[in-house]
Structure 1
Amino acid sequence: MPDTRYKKVTDPTQMSMAFAEIFNNGRDLDAWISLYEPDAILYFGGPDPVVGHEAIRKALTPLVEMPGKIETRINFCAVNGDIAVVRGDCIGRHEGEITFAASSVEVVRRQADGSWLYMIDHAAGASLPSAWETPSA
Structure 2
Amino acid sequence: MTITQTTTTHHDTPHTLNRAWGEAFNAGDLARLMTMYEDDAVLVPGPGAEPIAGTEAIAAALRGFLGLGGQLDFTPRHWLVSGDLALSSVAFSMSGGTDPDGNPVPLAGVTSELLRRQADGSWKYVIDHPFGGSA
Taking structure 1 as the reference length, the TM-score comes to 0.80
Name the counterpart of 1:12.
Answer: 14
**Residues matched between the structures, number:** 123
When Rg is computed on C-alpha atoms for both structures, the one with the higher figure is 1
CA contact (8 A) 2:74 2:93 kept: yes
Name the counterpart of 1:103.
Answer: 110
The gaps in structure 1 that reach 5 residues or longer are 129-137
Structure 1 moving runs of 4+ over 6 Å: none
Name the counterpart of 2:100.
Answer: none
Percent identity, aligned pairs only? Answer: 35
Name the counterpart of 2:125.
Answer: 118
The gaps in structure 2 that reach 5 residues or longer are 1-5, 98-103
Q: Deviations over 1:88-126 (max 9, x none)?
A: 11111229x992221100000000111100010001101
Shift of residue 35 of structure 1?
A: 0.5
Secondary structure in structure 2 of the residue aligned to 1:14: helix
Shift of residue 28 of structure 1?
A: 1.9
Say if 2:34 is the partner of 1:33. Answer: yes
Secondary structure in structure 2 of the residue aligned to 1:125: coil
Secondary structure in structure 2 of the residue aligned to 1:77: strand
Shift of residue 15 of structure 1?
A: 2.9
Q: What CA distance in whole angstroms lies between the structure 2 residues aligned with 1:124 and 1:68?
A: 17
Name the counterpart of 1:131.
Answer: none
